[in-house]
Amino acid sequence: MIDAHSLIKKVKQIEIKARRNSDQLLSGEYHSSFKGRGMTFSEVRKYQYGDDVRAIDWNVTARLNETYVKVFEEERELTLMLMVDISGSSHFGTKDYFKRELAAEICATLAFSALANNDKVGLLLFAEELELYIPPRKGRSHLLRIIRELLEFKPKTSSTNINTALQYLLKVQKKKAIVFLLSDFYCDSYTQTLKLVARKHDLIGMRLFDPMEEKLPNLGMIQLYDSEKKSYEWVNTGRKSVRRAFEIYHQSYAETFRKHLQKNGAGQIEIDIQKPYMRSLINFFSRRK
């Protein structure tokens, strides 16, 4: 548990860094990466050759005895939903960050980018069960609460169930939203619900991984701890077949992630937590222009 003083300091540090990073995202076309919910009336102007006759404002035209058309603008206010896996495996990291710490920083960056665009931001934390839901709202104080929860919230469960989280999202988020799902995706049986969410919302899956957890070094007989099952197991890393099976196991989850997000038209980002993540985010937004 982080003490109050340290938590406030950490939140402030993340806010400063997130604001700086969000400036980069905004210059990298965050604003144009996501479409608004529809068109809203802006003004009327005189008819010009080539204008759609369906846009003629007949009331103004009759009153002024001159043809005018309605001008519409895209309705820019959006909702950003951040879904974050806080299961046991989110506390893995071998360099500068645990996966959960990096997820908090990335979410803060996305949230402040949304704030700059006058968008609402909501949060959904999950492990085996739904752990916390914060409805979408605007404002700096709301975003700071989200950052605090991302850093400090203690889940009651330790394993991962993405399916449960996606089902809950479908219940509470009726209007189309931008949904970032941050997880290491060490989970089975979520693909059908993912399909439903991707059909209704603008879904982007973000897989956070540490290369050191995907390959076993040759260290002979060692004891490994499963942070989701909360159990220890002896593994003979000296055997090549064991190391290979371990690698295939992890690769299968990564391949499932790529396959099903691509199949359902969802965006996907893979973040190596040992490397700077901003380039991956900027590249993603640039591709969506």
pLDDT digits (tens, 9 = 90+) for 112-124: 988 888 889 999 9
| Predicted TM-score (pTM) of this structure | 0.81
Per-run averaged pLDDT (10 residues), the chain, 289 residues:
70 82 67 58 78 86 89 70 95 87 94 88 97 95 94 93 97 94 94 94 95 87 82 89 89 93 94 91 82
State both tokens at 185. Answer: 């995706």
Please say whether the beta carbons of 219 and 196 come within 8 A: no
| Cα–Cα distance for residue pair 234/225, rounded to 1 Å | 9
- Which residue type sits at 95? K
Report pLDDT for 186. 92
Go through the domains of the chain in sequence order and give each one's CATH number. 4-32+77-287 (3.40.50.410), 39-74 (no CATH)
Cα 117 to Cα 35, 121, 153, distances in angstroms: 12, 11, 27
Please say whether the beta carbons of 83 and 181 come within 8 A: yes
C-alpha torsion sign, points 284, 287, 288, 289: positive
The string over 110-133, giving b where at least 16 C-beta atoms fall within 10 Å of a residue's C-beta and e elsewhere, is bbbbbbebebbbbbbbbbbebbeb
